[in-house]
Structure 1
């Protein structure tokens, strides 16, 4: 019996080790890729062929999903006897702060083409396996509307409106820090307020107190639009206490006038990401629309963190121009990296789902000969599901050739085995039910089976 207990303990420890080794999510959302589109629906340019490659062989997978290097090369022709300057768009779903511009390359006849970046609507719900009509986010007309250099027109302010910025530099003189508060009054019908580096807001009629824990020197801000506020008191309290005032701090209050556009664009200095490819107009529009929405929803009050919607997943459209001489053919290529949706809810190992939006290509004058090549990753070398038929070649290569665009957008699923087995489904159900704790549950089930088997064997031996 002691030996049985010892074996059980070893198995339990192994089970917990397995749990920690596999303590990842069972679902990780990915986003689709898309064909390029013509901005002008009446463009005469024809697509003679497209060679589309998904290459997973780099094994550059730094998240819970697998990454593909995607290249879409188009052989295009200008069938007219006039020069055509064609504006093209490549929609891309990602957080603006996460876009890796080094991995995005657009060429025409081998020469790199410069592009402009336009930020579209957020698509936070995309990738939900229960969501229908996923391609609604890629509506052609909606994407074209975002290709604009117009400045966002807000309901609650104007871009050149002058506001008052109160900057308060706080310096605690104690190692344990302080709670810092500002009391002021304002008319919420006539004033809009943005605060930075405060994490508490209490309002009673026109009286307001904002507060923040402060452990080292920092600058807090109050930005006022409309009628000015009346600052009544700036106080410090012993950390964690709302009643015990302390003088263990110093502060300096600076006031200056700043227009809305300058104030909002200043936020990029403390926003995470590389924004040098994004114009000031695009950045202002993102910040201004978020601020406007928060003023409406929060009765004229907003925290800076609520403005930083720049980190939301959204449609980002890269727009560029290719010039075609009369009767000229050109090879236009777009290359980038993308990650699919990892889904481990119904199988023992992850399924990787990829979507590629083809309906945008239907806006060309004509489109022929779509050739697809997929080089699958080592950890998921098999295509177990797709909406078009692929031919399995040697190694991890799948190919397909179509004379015309398919009726539906391309989708395919990668898996570690050639098919999903019953055992995979049972283990997947456990993962879906218990999430991070699934390895422990599986370990306990295995241990239970082993113990029962040992007991049965021992009883059988005794009876003999």
Structure 2
């Protein structure tokens, strides 16, 4: 009997171990990646409708021969334009796109007759998803500059430890003499607000790897009722907690508006100080401060978060002027990269969908011809669907789709690429199988049901033997 009981217990342990392994496997696949990642559309350049310029010919090429997930498509639009009037025309053009400021420099190039064009960059509000993307034409009317965020000198408070600890946490609590003041804080990892009482804190010492100190800047008034706590990392008990500041020196200085802006510019452009002009830096800093402040419900601005401004996706307008002599023809080229929407909800491999707005091209005095080419490469050799009719051409070295239009199409361009000509029922089944909840059910719930059934069966057999 003891031998049977031992075998029974061993069997249960084996079954539970197998169930655990299967469940770990299921968790790995359940979190293996997203099923859809939406990307933003791109557009033709936008121009004032009151112009005398015609587009004789546009060549629009989408090159999808690089990795679609990491690089997307290389888009190139080349326009042959002509001034139909007998007067010189200075035409203002705008190319809108969604990008981060950080990646903009490497991804967009605009030329006139083969020479790079000097661009004015207008950085607008950040966007969260393609669903909240406003109309590009409406955006042009909303492109106004923000009021100056900093207009006066500031008071700086620097908190300098007077104890030599390898790693310590410093927390400072204070009130404001002027409740209308904004608070800039630097080198912190915690902050709080309760009524008119504020707290900020950070880690400092030799082991932290920085010589920085805790700092705060006020735009108005002074701090009041200062309290502090100094706590060593290895202990939960504070080594100093008082208002006398024997172990924490406080230095109070006035910093001019110009010096504060210089400090903030160094913070914002620490990695790319030479890329932008002085005017660009001033404008971008002002916009970054507005963006940092406006979503908050408290007057604390964390300067360490300032650089997020460069990494957020936003609408960017590239503005430029092209001069046309009477009846002159000029060639304008716009080249950039765009991502396609990744969708693996109903297929074994992801599809990639690209959207391109053609409507803005109708603002020219006339638009005569459009040649469209989409270059593909294995494994993404097929266009599943397209809003415009396309003809497939295949050779040993190149797979492409083409279309020629004698006038601007009425519809915008949307096309989806895939690894085969159609998504079969088997592909759809694999796609559904790969979705998170299906994995969780089949690779977690069913194995557990199986293990329980085996255990119940074993118990039943053992009882029969007895």
The gaps in structure 2 that reach 5 residues or longer are 1-13, 451-466
TM-superposed deviation, 1:204: 3.8
Q: Is the 8 A contact 2:26 2:440 kept in 1?
A: no
Matched, 1:376 2:368: no
* Structure-2 separation of matches of 1:332 and 1:292: 40
CA distance in 2, matches of 1:213, 1:369: 64
Instruction: Find out whether 1:45 has 2:53 as its counterpart.
Output: yes
Tell me whether 1:208 sits opposite 2:198 in the alignment.
Answer: yes
Once the two structures are TM-superposed, the CA of residue 50 in structure 1 deviates from its matched residue by 1.0
Distance apart, 1:324 and its partner CA: 0.7
Residue in structure 1 matched with residue 297 of structure 2 by the alignment: 298
**1:354 alignment counterpart:** 354
1:124 to 128, 131, 139: 128
User: Whole-Å Cα distance in 1 between the matches of residues 59 and 217 of structure 2?
Assistant: 53
Partner of 2:407: 404
TM-score by length of 1: 0.78
The separation in 2 between residues aligned to 1:82 and 1:252, in whole angstroms, is 68
Partner of 1:81: 86
**Which piece of structure 1 moves more, 223-232 or 421-430?**
223-232
SS of residue paired to 1:191: coil
Aligned residues: 418
C-alpha displacement of 1:206: 3.1
CA, structure 1 residues 391+18, in 2 after alignment: closer, same or farther (shift >3 Å)?
farther
Partners in 2 of 1:383 and 1:212 — Cα distance? Answer: 54
Task: Quote the Cα distance in structure 2 between the aligned partners of 1:162 and 1:365.
Answer: 52
Shift of 1:400: 1.0
**Would the alpha carbon gap of residues 66 and 96 (structure 1) be closer, same or farther in structure 2, given more than 3 Å must change?**
closer
Q: Which moved more, 1:357-366 or 1:86-95?
A: 357-366
Deviation of 1:18 after TM superposition, in Å, equals: 12
TM-score normalised by structure 2 residue count: 0.78
2:388 touches 2:411 (CA, 8 Å); kept in 1? no
8 Å contact 2:93–2:319 — kept in the other structure? yes
CA–CA distance in 2 between the matches of 1:250 and 1:227?
22
Q: What are the equivalent positions in structure 2 for 1:212-361 lying under 5 Å apart? A: 212-214=202-204, 215-216=208-209, 217-230=211-224, 232-239=226-233, 243-245=237-239, 253=251, 255-259=253-257, 261-262=261-262, 264-270=264-270, 276=276, 279-294=280-295, 297-305=296-304, 307=306, 308-361=308-361
CA RMSD of aligned residues (A): 3.7
Provide the secondary structure at the position in 2 that maps to 1:299: coil
Q: Distance in 2 between matches of 1:273 and 1:361?
A: 36
Closer, same or farther in 2 for the Cα pair 1:424/1:273, shift >3 Å? Answer: farther
1:246 offset after TM fit, Å? Answer: 5.1
CA contact (8 A) 1:179 1:239 kept: yes
Whether 1:97 and 2:91 are equivalent positions in the alignment is no
> Which of 30, 51, 62 is equivalent to 2:39?
30
For the pair shown, the structure with the greater C-alpha radius of gyration is: 2
After superposition, the C-alpha distances for 1:118-157 in whole angstroms (9 at most, x for unaligned) are 101222121xxxx4xx7x52331323532x5x4x216xxx
| 2:182 aligned counterpart, secondary structure | strand
1:422-433, aligned counterparts within 5 Å?
422-433=425-436
SS in structure 2 of the partner of residue 164 of structure 1: strand
* 1:264, distance to aligned residue in structure 2 (A): 4.1
Deviations 1:268-310 (A, max 9, x none): 134789852781243034213224414xx42323323555433
